[in-house]
Chains A and B, each alone.
Chain A
Amino acid sequence: MNTEHHTYNKLSAHPDRFEQRHIGPRTLDIEAMIAQTKASSLSALIDEIVPEAIRRRRALNLPEAKSEFEVLEQLKGIASQNKVYKSLIGQGYFSCYTPPVIQRNILENPGWYTQYTPYQAEISQGRLEALVNYQTVITNLTGLPLANSSLLDEGTAAAEAMGMCWSLGRQKGTRFIVDSACHPQTIAVLQTRAEPLDIEIVLSSREDMLAQAEFAQAGSFGVILQYPDTHGITDENMGELIDQAHAHKLKVVVASDLLALTLLTPPGELGETGADIVVGSSQRFGVPFGAGGPHAAFMSTHEANKRVMPGRIIGLSVDSNGEKAYRLALQTREQHIRRDKATSNICTAQVLLAVMAGMYAVYHGADGLKAIASRVKRLTATLEQTLVQGGTQVIEGQRFDTLVVTQAGNGQNLAEIYEAALEAEINLRKLQVNGQLALGISLDETCGFDLVTKLSQLFLGQSNLVTLSDSFDFEGVLKRQSTYLDHPSFKLYQCEHELLRYMHRLQAKDLSLTHSMIPLGSCTMKLNATAEMIAVTWPEFAHIHPFAPLSQRQGYAELYSLLEGWLEEITGFSAVSLQPNAGSQGEYAGLLVIRAYHLSRGDAHRKVCLIPTSAHGTNPASAVMAGFKVVPVKCDERGDIDLIDLEEKSIKHADNLGALMITYPSTHGVFEEGVVQACAIVHAHGGQVYMDGANMNAQVGLCRPGDIGADVCHLNLHKTFCIPHGGGGPGMGPIGVVAHLAPFLPTHPEEAVGGDMHIEGEQSQAIGPVSAAPFGSPSILPISFAYISMMGADGLKKATEIAILNANYMASKLSGHYDILYTGNNGRVAHEFILDCRGFKASADISVDDIAKRLMDYGFHAPTMSWPVIGTLMVEPTESESKEELDRFCEAMIAIREEINAIESGKLDREDNPMRYAPHTVEIMTADEWTHSYTRSQAAYPLKWIKSRKFWPSVGRVDNAYGDRNLVCTCPPMEDYEA
């Protein structure tokens, strides 16, 4: 294309630019907002805020911005290089049908996918109830009474379970026994997790565990068994194994399969007391492969273990009117409170996918699920019977859906059968059994009799008469006796109208970005544009098995490579790993990479990790998981890292200094001037610098972690790069690293990735996998891809600048009413800021909780509460909010400040005032009796415009203490509904 053509092309381009859709304020607004901040121009404002020393003045080298329609074309092209075959690979991932009513109304619905984690329970009852349905499914099917509301994937769930066993044994154990018939990726993730904790993974077959008295070996603290195992076998000795392990005081984890459990004796009912912990993936409950994710992993356990259970647990409680209400239970287990003493670092989980899996069970009900499972079992039995009759040898035992063929019949050859299946667009699993090639076949709900006939033909080399087997169910001890999903939630909504209305009733209880801004500091609730979402459910992205042959994943390969390149350019790093599934996993992976680097240099003792006290809870929790010892670094009175303390501690620990973890701009919302110096201090004493990239959205296009001096940084793609939060997940936390760390990036047993790509000839010193799938959650990567592609270098930089402008505009509007806690040198904030609310306790008996709940009456979600400073609110507007929306929020905050004034001056009662009784529900407002000293309109419509945009919280203030003292985390019994 010649330059003239190029110019004409540009001049005659379609006038619509995505950047203008993504960025909230209009050009004229921007001028007014700059005036409000008293800066002379946008660039002058940015110059005041971003330290010159780290400023990068060159434009990012990214492709020219595309329009929404162009990017969809581009993605279509990429998608077309993926080939959708029938994948019968199994290994923890099974094809399934996503009920269209769920796909359109949940997965593709911003009313479900744009929220954050349900911290504000009163405006989150919809997804909280949906998650309780999910937890009920998990507890019922696994046979254990307590479930969490999802973990990141089956591999990490197994690793979390190992960590739990270790904690339950007071961290004294050294040996964790692993069923050698667990899925290979699960074993690999366990190994990664075990190594820095000095836990030895002992692989053993289940027969050997009993025969060799493995459980009796000193130091053993737990065992994981897979049921059905990776070869499809459901072991009849499970009860015996569990009892033997318990006799030796080992904790028992069982990895299982939800669909199989509709027919199979649940792990909670095996042996004398059942397994201690059950884990697995809920993917096949209506969630597409997505080349590995996102999917919700599950975990259940006994009540007694509730305090070491990782992840979020939804519990039932009551509200201020005595009505039932849900909220996050037992939060003191979690990293944000327990920090380096937490059992897990998990933060963002897989809420949207858990909601889908729960709805899949609501849609089918117990009978429906059982019918699906029976059919799968019957077709598998049919296939087995046909193949065995034809002389094929298979691994024997009772099975559900998976058959492993070790020897072909009829003089056929397995390698050739594999190829012939590929010809027929069928993927089988290749695996080694006793050093020989074997082929695995896993059937699922999308497989029918035709496919079984086709498979028989492929394996036997001729058309055989296939007769349908009579085996619908397990036999003997394996046959499930207990019932499940008896609750009305799983009976009432099986006609589509009922389900549609149920989902919409729930949705209506949740405040999402479809209502108003969600100004959660550190969470970056920016626009999740529809154009970015569209490709996620395209079959070419959704229906790809993570371990399908590479040749069928060429589109994904291109997507990864382009996205990695762009992220490298944006961060200034030389390599990126897309494997970690959340920010927390990025931290953990990045610290393991640092650890591997020190180990490679013979510096095994470099185990001290310096972490400022202002750090997010995941930082210290991740550091401990990665084998580091946390040494806190103070913050000075301005909230910045205390460089003197940092230097002292770096010197003190110089011999053992492993890493510093910093967040930039700081968690206090300030571009600290001292950041380059901080990195230099740590480097001078032999440490590496980990940057928490949660605030990367304030850096893109202005400065780069790699240039500042960081060695590793994670990016929360669900913050800066537009993946929606899904109500608490999915997320993606890829890490970027400098060149000398690239050889250590996470690898994967199924595919050459990470460190394996950066080292030639030598033996790899890279870390093992941190996720079950090699590229984490690929099907949501098109979202970030589309965002970067549509914004281009200029648009991304503009987004950062406007994010900073929006924050400074709000700070300036609110500063006469509230104190802004920390600011930079010029009195400016970065992209977020902290409102100090601590004084109101004494002056008006008003807590930060009261303000958060009162904001609901004004139609807003509260800012981040009591983090990073207790008793404060942290506001992050993002670039995607218009001036009108910012003004509305400021007006609400100012009106609330006036209410506090009125309490202070005695105009409003100290006890009986609208803040203490917030939020106000419709029931309270329309009750025949009104007993408050303030008026109804003061309660519900404190500002004029609220009438036309009213959002009604569905419950009154939730009693957290009641719920934690009386933990109920499954659907409440029927009587509660009738009452």
Chain B
Amino acid sequence: MSNPSDLLYTEDHEWALVEGDTVTVGITNHAQDSLGDVVFVELPEIDQELGNGDALGVVESVKAVSDLYSPCDGVVIEVNERLNDEPELINSDPYGDGWIIKVKISDPAAVSHLMDSEAYDQFVQAES
């Protein structure tokens, strides 16, 4: 699975889909692959204010725990409730049904520091 070119990426292996002032956040295929079978996702509360890099939740697999960090400043407007019962969506569809939260940003520049897919591909390559 290649990393979709319409998304932006963080060094913590998260992706962000920017649509107007709404940013949808999830973890990348690389991240779900190295975690293994995801069994639990801890989601933040709606209306929680997040700064860039703030911890917003946790993804747990049978053998590892990974903190989630906010890719940008923003306010949580929606969380993927389906993950409570079907955490495996993160494995089966990391860029689709496995999305984690949506945040509202007040300034388009809030996402300007993120990598594009090409830069992220290179980042993953360099890391391994």
Instruction: Indicate whether A337 reaches chain B with its CB closer than 8 angstroms.
Output: yes
Contact status B62-A961, CB under 8 Å: yes
CB distance from B59 to the nearest CB of A (A): 10
Contact B87 A331 (CB under 8 A): no
Interface membership of chain A positions 932-971, coded 1 if the CB is closer than 8 angstroms to chain B and 0 otherwise = 0000000000000000000000000000110011000000
Contact between B40 and A960, CB atoms less than 8 A apart: no
Bound complex: CA A210 to CA B40 (Å): 39
Cα distance A338–B88 in the bound complex, in angstroms? 21
Within the complex, the shortest CB–CB distance from B80 to chain A, in Å, comes to 16
Cβ of A307 within 8 Å of any chain B Cβ, yes or no, is: yes
* A332 contacts chain B at the CB level, 8 A cutoff: yes
> A330 — which chain B residues lie within 8 A by C-beta?
39
Within A319-372, which residues are at the interface with B (CB < 8 Å)? Answer: 330-332, 337-338, 341
A809 to chain B, nearest CB (A): 32
**What is the number of residues of chain B that contact chain A, defined by CB distance less than 8 Å?**
13
Chain A residues contacting B65 (CB-CB under 8 Å) are 332, 337-338, 341
User: How many whole Å from B116's CB to the nearest CB in chain A?
Assistant: 27
On whether the beta carbons of A331 and B63 are closer than 8 Å, the reply is yes
Question: Do A965 and B63 have beta carbons less than 8 Å apart?
Answer: no
What chain A residues lie within 8 Å of B60 (beta carbons)?
A: 332
- B62 near A331 with CB under 8 A, answer yes
Task: Check if B63 sits within 8 Å of A332, measured CB to CB.
Answer: yes
Q: Mark B52-93, 1 if CB is under 8 A from A, else 0.
A: 000000001111110000000000000000000001100000
Distance in angstroms from B39 CB to nearest chain A CB is: 4
Inter-chain contact A965/B64, CB cutoff 8 Å: no
With a CB–CB cut-off of 8 A, which chain A residues contact B87?
A: 965
The verdict on B37 contacting chain A, using a C-beta distance below 8 Å, is yes
Q: For A964, what are the chain B residues with a Cβ–Cβ distance below 8 Å?
A: 37, 39-40, 62
Q: How many A-B contacts are there with CB distance less than 8 Å? A: 35
How many interface residues does A have (CB within 8 Å)? 12
Bound-complex Cα distance A332 to B66 (A)? 10
A960/B37 in contact, CB under 8 A: yes
A965 close to B88 (CB less than 8 A): yes
What is the distance, in angstroms, from A24's C-beta to the closest C-beta of chain B?
33
Chain A contacts of B40 at CB under 8 A? 307, 332, 964
Complex Cα spacing A960 to B62, Å: 6
Which A895-940 residues sit within 8 Å CB-CB of chain B? none
Q: Residues of A contacting B36 with CB < 8 Å?
A: 961
Interface of chain B residues 9 through 49 with chain A (CB within 8 A): 36-40
Find the B residue at minimum CB distance from A342: B65
Instruction: Write the chain A residue with the least CB distance to B62.
Output: A960
Name which of B62, B64, B88 has the most chain A CB atoms within 10 A of its CB: B62
**What sequence of 0s and 1s flags, for each residue 772-806 of chain A, a beta carbon within 8 Å of any chain B beta carbon?**
00000000000000000000000000000000000
Query: What are the residues of chain B within 8 A of A960 when measuring CB–CB?
Result: 37, 62-63
Q: Taking each of B40, B63, B87, B88, which has the highest tally of chain A beta carbons within 10 Å of its own beta carbon?
A: B63
Q: Which residue of B lies closest to A959 (CB)?
A: B37
Measured between beta carbons, the chain A residues less than 8 angstroms from B88 are: 961, 965
Q: Which residues of A sit under 8 angstroms from B38, Cβ to Cβ?
A: 961
Nearest CB to that of B65 among chain A residues?
Answer: A332
Alpha-carbon distance A961/B64, docked complex (angstroms): 12
Who on chain B is nearest to A866 by CB? Answer: B63
Question: CA separation between A223 and B40, bound complex, in Å?
Answer: 29
Residues of B within 8 A of A331 (CB): 62-63
A338 and B60 CA atoms in complex are apart in Å by 11
In the complex, A240 Cα to B37 Cα: how many Å?
44
A668 CA / B65 CA spacing, docked (Å) = 23
Complex Cα distance, B4 from A883, in Å, reads 56
Q: How far is the CB of A868 from chain B (nearest CB, A)?
A: 15
Give the distance to chain A from B38, nearest Cβ to Cβ, in Å: 8
Q: A282-318 vs B: 1/0 string, CB under 8 Å?
A: 0000000000000000000000000100000000000
Most buried by A among B36, B37, B39, B60: B39
A804 to B58 CA separation, bound complex (whole angstroms):
42
Q: Which residues on the A side are within 8 Å of B64 (C-beta)?
A: 332, 337
> How close is B43's CB to chain A, nearest CB, in angstroms?
13
Q: Write out the residue numbers on chain A whose beta carbons fall within 8 Å of the beta carbon of B61.
A: 332, 961
Question: How near does chain B come to A254, taking the closest CB pair, in angstroms?
Answer: 28
The residue in chain A whose Cβ has the minimal distance to the Cβ of B59 is A332
Chain B nearest Cβ from A760, distance in angstroms:
49
**In the docked arrangement, what's the CA distance between A866 and B60, Å?**
17
Pick from A337, A338, A866, A965: contact of B39, CB under 8 Å: A965
Most B Cβ at <10 Å: residue of A330, A331, A332? A332
List residues of chain A with CB within 8 A of the CB of B62.
331-332, 960-961, 964
Kindly provide the distance from the CB of A959 to the nearest chain B CB, expressed in whole angstroms.
9
A961 to B87, CA, bound (A): 10
A961 to B60, CA, bound (A): 10
Which residues of chain B are near A866, meaning CB under 8 Å?
Answer: 63
Q: Complex formed: what's the CA distance from A964 to B62 in Å?
A: 7
Contact pattern, A 181-225, Cβ under 8 Å of B = 1, otherwise 0: 000000000000000000000000000000000000000000000
Docked complex Cα distance between A960 and B61 (Å)? 10
In the bound complex, how far is the Cα of B119 from the Cα of A3, in angstroms? 83
CB distance from A187 to the nearest CB of B (A): 34
The CA-CA distance from A961 to B37 in the complex, in Å, is 6
**Neighbouring A residues of B37 by C-beta, 8 Å:** 960-961, 964
B81 CB to nearest A CB, Å: 16
Chain A, 823-842, CB within 8 A of any chain B CB: none
Bound Cα distance A307, B41 (Å): 11
CB distance from B93 to the nearest CB of A (A): 16
Chain B residues positioned under 8 Å from A307 (CB to CB): 40
A99 to chain B, nearest CB (A): 37
In Å, the complex CA distance between A659 and B63 comes to 30
User: Could you say which residues of chain B place their CB within 8 Å of the CB of A337?
Assistant: 63-65
Which residue in chain B gives the minimum CB-CB distance to A307?
B40
Q: How far is the CA of A146 from the CA of B25 in the complex (A)?
A: 33
**Distance in angstroms between the alpha carbons of A337 and B65 in the assembled complex:** 7
Task: Write the A397-410 contact mask toward B (1 if CB under 8 angstroms, else 0).
Answer: 00000000000000
CA distance A337 to B67 in the complex (A): 13
Q: Which residue of A lies closest to B85 (CB)?
A: A965
Q: Distance in Å from the Cβ of A277 to the closest Cβ of chain B?
A: 20
Inter-chain contacts of A338 with B (CB < 8 A): 65
Shortest A453–chain B CB gap in Å is 59
Which residue of the partner chain B has the closest CB to A967?
B39
Type the 1/0 row for B100-119, where 1 means its CB is closer than 8 Å to any CB of A.
00000000000000000000
Cα A331 to Cα B37 in complex, Å, equals 13
In the assembled complex, the CB of A310 is this many whole angstroms from the nearest CB of chain B, namely 15
User: Considering the chains assembled together, what is the distance between the CA atoms of A866 and B62 in angstroms?
Assistant: 14
Residues 649-663 of chain A, each 1 if its beta carbon lies under 8 Å from chain B, else 0: 000000000000000
B63 to chain A, nearest CB (A): 7
A255 CB, min distance to chain B CBs, angstroms: 30
Q: List residues 583-601 of chain A with CB under 8 A from any CB of chain B.
A: none
Q: Across the interface, name the chain B residue whose C-beta is closest to A306.
A: B40
Q: In the complex, what residues of B have CB within 8 A of residue A341's CB?
A: 65
Q: Which 10 A-B pairs have the closest CB atoms?
A: A961-B37, A964-B39, A960-B62, A332-B60, A332-B65, A965-B39, A961-B62, A964-B62, A961-B39, A337-B65
Q: Contacts A332-B61, A961-B36, A961-B37 given; 12 further ones with Cβ under 8 A? A: A332-B39, A332-B64, A337-B63, A337-B65, A960-B37, A961-B39, A961-B61, A961-B62, A964-B37, A964-B62, A965-B39, A965-B87
Binding site for B on A (CB under 8 A): 307, 330-332, 337-338, 341, 866, 960-961, 964-965
Q: List 11 A-B contacts (CB under 8 A).
A: A332-B39, A332-B60, A332-B62, A332-B65, A337-B64, A337-B65, A338-B65, A341-B65, A960-B37, A961-B39, A965-B87
